[in-house]
Structures are given as C-alpha cells and as structure tokens.
Amino acid sequence: MLTQRNPEDEYYDQYTIQALEGSRQNDTCTNLYQMLKVQGDPIDFRCTDLDLRCFPDLYPYGSNGQYVTRQVPLMPSEFVKNKVLSKHERYRLNIQYIFHLFHEANIRALKAGIFHKLNIIGNTGNLSAFKCLEMLKTMQLESNMVTIFSRLRKSAQFWSKPRTDILTVITWYGPVVPSS
C-alpha cells in the first residue's frame, strides 16, 4: 500500500493514485457514456438501406445489408444471429450497431403487438385515421396495453404470462420441492 504519492514519479504514470481521505470527482454519466453525435440532415428511420448508410465501416461497399433482396429470404432474427455470431468480430464490437439491431428488434415487436391489438378489436378492415382517434378517445385501444407490450422483451407485460403460468402450476400442484 502506498503511503505517499508523488506526481513527478515516472514509475506510477500508468496508475491512478488516489488519497484515501480525498473525495474523487467523477465525470457525469452523460459525459462518460456519450453517444455519437450525428451532424447533418436527418435520415428516415424506415429507409431499407439504413444500416448500409449509417455503418460504412461495417459495409464498405454498401451491399449485403439487412433488407437487401436475396435469393433465399432471410428473417431479421436470422440476419442478426448471423452478424453477431460471425467470425468477423467487427459486428460484435461495434456498440452503435448492436444498439441499432436491438432498436430494430424492439420496433418489430411493437409493430407485431399493435397489429395483434388491432386484430383483437375486430372490424378494422376499414379503419380510418378518424375512427382510430375516436377509439383512442374512448379508451378502446388503450384498455389493455398488455397486448401491445407482451412481445417486447424485458417489459413487465412480457413476463406476465409466464408468471401467471407458474402461479397456476403452484396453485394446482403445490410448491416446487426437490424429489428424494
């Protein structure tokens, strides 16, 4: 343990020496974990070649993105799995790209939940924007948000069905005990 510190000592250049009594001044979280700032015109997030435009270091030739038409159709989950498990580590190590893939997965899950909710209501074949706004005002669409968020992982609604299934099993068959 060091009892004295000397700022001019060259041996300790690679270490951070902190006094035991002194308080450490940390930088704010927003300064430490700053996302990359984009300077320029905004891009529509529904663009099919968004990954090719935003990640030129991963796609230097601007081809083979997620939504490129292929001879064999590739599901988005299969594309993400192939990129993350690829032998080329540049896809795994690019944090911005991982966040982009996670965001797209969340958007797909929300779209599926909204589609499911609109199909539960019924008679949505001729649903206009005016009728949709009226349904929002009368709380028909917001009556049960569990349906929309049930496909979104890491949400409370996602875990409500498995939780109720476990509670039902415990109610009918008793608590889980190790067999002897």
* 20-57 pLDDT, tens digit each: 666 666 677 666 666 667 788 888 878 888 888 888 89
Determine, yes or no, domain membership for 61.
yes
pLDDT exceeds cutoff 90 at 116: no
Looking at the 3D structure of the chain, how many domains does it have? 1
Residue closest to 20 by CA, chosen among 34, 45, 1, 43: 1
Regarding pTM above 0.85, the answer is no
In a domain, 168, yes or no: yes
- 38 found inside a domain: no
d(CA 18, CA 4): 10
Q: Which segment of 17-21, 115-119, 169-173 scores lowest on mean pLDDT?
A: 17-21
Q: Give the range of the structural domain holding residue 142, as residue numbers without chain letter.
A: 10-25+45-173
Strand residues in the chain grouped as ranges (E): none
Q: What is the pLDDT of residues 5-27, one digit of tens each?
A: 666 766 666 666 666 666 666 67
CB of 125 closer than 8 Å to CB of 117: no
The pLDDT assigned to 44 comes to 83
Classify residue 34: in a domain, yes or no: no
State the chain's mean pLDDT as an integer.
80
Confidence of residue 168 (pLDDT cuts 50, 70, 90): very high
In a domain, 148, yes or no: yes
Q: Would residue 179 count as lying in a domain?
A: no
Which among 107, 108, 118, 170 has a CA at the least distance from the CA of 144?
118
Q: Which DSSP category does 169 fall into?
A: H
Tens digits of per-residue pLDDT, 96-105? 999 999 999 9
Q: For residue 71, what pLDDT band results from cuts at 50, 70 and 90?
A: very high
In the predicted model, is pLDDT for residue 178 greater than 80?
no
Question: Is 35 part of a structural domain of the chain?
Answer: no
Q: What is the mean pLDDT of residues 139-168?
A: 80
**Residues near 157 by beta carbon (within 8 Å), at least 6 away in sequence:** 145, 146, 148, 149, 150
What average pLDDT does range 161-167 have in this prediction?
89
Locus of tokens 């589609």: 115
